[in-house]
C-alpha cells in the first residue's frame, strides 16, 4: 500500500473515531428533568442510544421535614426524535427523629421532539409521564403529567421554557410527585471547550392544597468521559411561606448502545 493511501486510510479511521467521541460528548448538554435543575431541553437522546441515570435529590422543607430521593432511570432513543424511559424513585422521609423508606411509584415517560430549531422557531417538544401508585410512598392514585418544552440557542447560550400540568385524583400524592402545575425558565452556557454546561433557573409550581412555590436554582453538568457525565445543582425558595429552605441534586449519567439492537449498518 502506498504512503499516500496509508495516510488516507489513517485519516478516515481517525475521523470515524473522532465523530463517535464527539457524538457522545454532546450528552453533557442534554438537560434532563431535575438534572441538575427542574427545567429540561427539547431534545431527546440519539436514536438507538440508552442513557442510564442515577440522580439523587434532597430537600429540607419549612416544616422541618426532609426528603431524600434516589431515582434510577433508563431512557432509550426509540426513534430519531423520540425517547421513552422508566424511573424507579426510592424515597426516605425524615421528620423529627423518625425516618421512613419506600418506593415512591414507578414512572413511565415519553418525549417527542416536534422540530429542530429554525431562525424563526425554537425547538419544541412534548412529554408525558405516568406515575403508578406502587410502593409505600407511591400515593393513592395514578397520575398523568403533560409538559411542553421550548429551547432556543444562540451559539454557546441556550434559553429554555417549560410548562407542565398533572392530572389525577385528589388522594394522598406520592413522595416527590409532580406538582399540579409548574412553569420554569432557564438559561445555560457552555464552557471549557464544550465539556461544561452551567445553568440558572427561576421557576414556580403549586401542589395540591399548598401555597405557590417560587424558587431559584443553579447547576452544572460536566462530561467526565465521552460516555459518563456528572451533574450537581442547588435550589432555594424565593418566597417566605413556600418551597424548600434548600434543595440539592447530584447525579451521574452513562450513555451506551447494545449491538443487538443496532441496524446492520451501524454495528
In angstroms, the CA 177 to CA 175 distance is: 5
- The whole-number average pLDDT for the span 102-107 is 94
d(CA 116, CA 120): 11
The pLDDT value given to residue 15:
37
264 band by pLDDT with thresholds 50, 70 and 90: low
239 is in which domain, residue-wise?
Answer: 3-266
- Pair 185, 20: CB distance under 8 Å: no
- pLDDT, tens only, 212-263: 999 999 999 999 988 999 999 999 999 888 888 899 999 999 999 998 877 7
Q: E strands, 117-237, where?
A: 123-131, 143-154, 157-168, 181-191, 196-206, 213-225, 228-237
pLDDT at position 16 is: 37
Phi, psi of 46 (to 5 degrees): -65, 155
Which residue matches cell numbers 399540579? Answer: 180
Query: In this model, does residue 7 exceed pLDDT 50?
Result: no
Residue 129's DSSP bridge partners are 109, 145
**Mean residue pLDDT across the chain:** 86
Over 80: is that where the pLDDT of 31 sits?
yes
| pLDDT of 29 | 76
Number of separate domains in the chain: 1
CATH number of the CATH domain containing 140:
2.40.160.40
Amino acid at each position: 500500500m502506498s504512503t499516500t493511501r496509508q495516510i488516507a486510510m489513517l485519516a478516515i479511521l481517525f475521523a470515524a473515531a473522532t465523530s463517535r467521541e464527539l457524538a457522545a460528548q454532546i450528552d453533557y448538554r442534554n438537560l434532563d428533568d431535575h438534572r441538575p435543575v427542574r427545567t429540561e431541553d427539547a431534545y431527546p437522546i440519539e436514536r438507538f442510544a440508552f442513557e442510564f441515570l442515577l440522580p439523587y435529590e434532597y430537600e429540607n422543607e419549612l416544616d422541618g421535614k426532609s426528603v431524600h430521593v434516589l431515582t434510577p432511570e433508563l431512557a432509550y432513543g426509540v426513534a430519531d426524535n423520540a425517547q421513552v424511559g422508566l424511573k424507579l424513585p426510592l424515597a426516605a422521609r425524615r421528620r423529627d427523629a423518625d425516618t421512613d423508606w419506600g418506593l415512591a411509584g414507578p414512572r413511565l415517560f415519553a418525549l417527542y421532539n416536534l422540530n429542530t430549531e429554525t431562525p424563526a422557531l425554537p425547538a419544541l417538544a412534548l412529554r408525558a409521564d405516568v406515575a403508578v401508585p406502587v410502593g409505600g410512598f407511591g400515593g393513592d392514585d395514578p397520575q398523568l403529567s403533560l409538559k411542553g418544552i421550548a429551547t432556543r440557542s444562540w451559539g454557546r447560550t441556550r434559553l429554555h421554557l417549560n410548562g407542565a400540568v398533572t392530572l389525577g385524583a385528589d388522594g394522598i400524592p406520592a413522595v416527590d410527585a409532580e406538582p399540579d402545575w409548574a412553569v420554569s425558565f432557564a438559561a445555560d452556557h457552555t464552557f471549557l471547550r464544550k465539556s461544561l454546561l452551567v445553568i440558572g433557573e427561576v421557576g414556580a409550581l403549586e401542589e395540591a392544597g399548598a401555597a405557590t412555590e417560587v424558587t431559584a436554582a443553579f447547576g452544572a453538568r460536566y462530561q467526565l468521559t465521552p460516555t459518563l457525565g456528572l451533574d450537581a445543582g442547588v435550589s432555594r425558595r424565593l418566597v417566605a411561606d413556600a418551597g424548600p429552605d434548600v434543595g440539592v441534586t447530584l447525579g451521574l449519567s452513562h450513555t451506551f448502545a447494545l449491538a443487538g439492537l443496532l441496524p446492520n449498518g451501524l454495528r
